[in-house]
Chain A
């Protein structure tokens, strides 16, 4: 079993839809939770980060962490064709450097 599980999709939605992306994990020691977005032929870029449990909102994006269920989510409101990309969840411990465990990534297509 992988430490971080993420449905690879693809996920196809119409423009303006609310998108929900999710990951589950097995290591209860993870403290930092992140979402990266990766466009084709580019490296991943950090989209959202959360420390421990709770919600965080940034514009159209909301990240949620439920440590009791070992479950994290990313919601995208009013999705746009420019949101079409691969979204990777990621997490790491609070100490010991930046070693980060990534999910497989979910390929998202937003149709105009």
Chain B
């Protein structure tokens, strides 16, 4: 079966711009989580969506937002980009009935802010 698909794979944006990243979870997975990965901070939790509702939120500023659609696909948006937003953004999906399992991650979107 298809894995978690993230698009685009690479992005270069300018400070002050905004960006939207997309994630298609594994078919049947209704939980989608987003993480930011940087060399200095490691994997930091952004938010989790389940059935179009935000269920958990990390400690990121309001410039970071997300949403989930009825087909479980998710997008995250970062407005007013800063240099420090350069990172690998990872999406992960999970099957609610398998809480004892972990995530299936996508390959990520590498965002560079110049």
A interface residues (Cβ-Cβ under 8 A, vs B): 32, 34, 36, 41-46, 49, 51, 88, 90, 94, 96-105
- Say if the beta carbon of B1 comes within 8 Å of chain A: no
Cβ of B33: which chain A residues have Cβ within 8 Å of it?
98-100
Nearest CB in chain B: distance from A60 CB, A: 19
Interface of B is mostly: strand
Number of interface residues of B (CB under 8 A): 25
Q: Which of B39-94 contact A (CB under 8 A)?
A: 42-43, 45, 48, 50, 55-56, 58, 90, 92, 94
Interface of A is mostly: loop
- The answer to whether A98 and B42 touch across the interface, beta carbons within 8 angstroms, is no
From the candidates B48, B90, B100, B104, name the one contacting A99 in the complex (CB within 8 A).
B48
Nearest CB in chain A: distance from B76 CB, A: 15
Q: A49-B100, A104-B42 are in contact. Are A99 and B56 (CB under 8 A)?
A: yes
Q: A44-B105, A46-B103, A96-B56 are in contact. Are A103 and B42 (CB under 8 A)?
A: yes
User: Would you give 13 A-B contacts (Cβ < 8 Å), ordered by A?
Assistant: A32-B102, A34-B102, A43-B4, A43-B105, A43-B106, A44-B90, A44-B105, A45-B105, A49-B100, A51-B100, A97-B31, A97-B55, A102-B35
Cα separation A64 to B54 with both chains bound (whole Å): 33
Nearest CB in chain A: distance from B105 CB, A: 3
Cβ of B107: which chain A residues have Cβ within 8 Å of it?
41-43
- The answer to whether B45 and A32 touch across the interface, beta carbons within 8 angstroms, is no
From the candidates B56, B58, B102, name the one contacting A97 in the complex (CB within 8 A).
B56
Q: A41-B107, A99-B33, A102-B42 are in contact. Are A90 and B102 (CB under 8 A)?
A: yes
- The answer to whether A46 and B104 touch across the interface, beta carbons within 8 angstroms, is yes
